[in-house]
Structures are given as structure tokens and as C-alpha cells.
């Protein structure tokens, strides 16, 4: 194979996923997680931020059986296998909902609103779910 026949390597992009929705009110939270795993499988640099009611996506001991929905929270454990380690929870959101980092399924870092604004500016693309 000559150099002209080789396929160019895709460029790595910095993608930030904003997760704003409660885990079982719509399909968006599950779709966001699927998109994160797919993008990371293609070698993209992923950052996850949970804010507003999205912080509930990471809450331990979820049981959506009463509303007849499938619990997808265990899938968050796959993030580490996919190399996704930049996981943040917006500080005001978690505090307003009475949660702490100990209440979460996976390790996450607190981020304040002003630091989040700076982080958003440094991304190639921001996807909001």
C-alpha cells in the first residue's frame, strides 16, 4: 500500500457532554450515555458534566421499576473501560438537590459555574442533553 492509498487518521476532538435531565423522564440521558461511549470508542477526548437534574443520573441505588423503565445506571461503570475519566458535577446543582459526591455511582469532581464556563470555551464541540 502506498502512502497515497492510506486513509488519514481522524482528528481527535474535545467533546463536552452536558447532562441536564433526570435519568428517567425522557430518553435523552440514555442517548447521551450511548453517544459518550461511541465517541470515546472512536478516540475522542470526552468530558462529562452533570448539572441541574442531570446530577440524579449518577445517584446510587436507582430503581425505576415503579415507572416501568429499565435501569441504565450500571452502564456508567463502563466509562472507565472506555477511557472516560473527566467527569464533573456542577457544585450548585448537587448541593441544591441534597446530594454529595459520596451519593454518586462513579467518581466525579465538583466544578463551579465560572470554571464550567471556561471549560466550555475550550471544547471543540458541546453537546447538551
Q: Indicate whether 1 pLDDT > 90.
A: no
| Residues 6+ away with beta carbon under 8 Å from 123 | 14, 15, 16, 47
Does 64 or 117 have the greater pLDDT score?
117
The CA distance from 20 to 51, in Å, is: 5
Rounded average pLDDT over 27-50: 95
Amino acid at each position: 500500500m502506498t502512502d497515497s492509498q492510506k486513509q488519514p487518521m481522524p482528528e481527535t476532538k474535545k467533546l463536552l457532554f452536558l447532562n441536564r435531565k433526570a435519568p428517567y423522564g425522557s430518553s435523552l440521558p440514555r442517548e447521551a450515555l450511548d453517544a459518550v461511549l461511541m465517541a470515546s470508542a472512536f478516540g475522542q477526548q470526552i468530558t462529562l458534566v452533570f448539572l441541574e437534574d442531570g446530577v440524579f443520573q449518577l445517584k446510587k441505588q436507582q430503581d425505576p421499576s415503579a415507572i416501568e423503565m429499565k435501569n441504565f445506571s450500571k452502564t456508567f461503570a463502563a466509562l472507565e473501560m472506555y477511557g472516560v475519566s473527566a467527569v464533573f458535577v456542577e457544585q450548585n446543582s448537587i448541593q441544591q438537590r441534597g446530594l454529595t459526591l459520596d451519593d454518586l455511582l462513579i467518581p466525579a469532581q465538583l466544578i463551579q459555574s465560572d470554571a464550567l464556563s471556561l471549560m466550555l470555551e475550550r471544547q471543540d464541540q458541546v453537546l447538551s442533553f
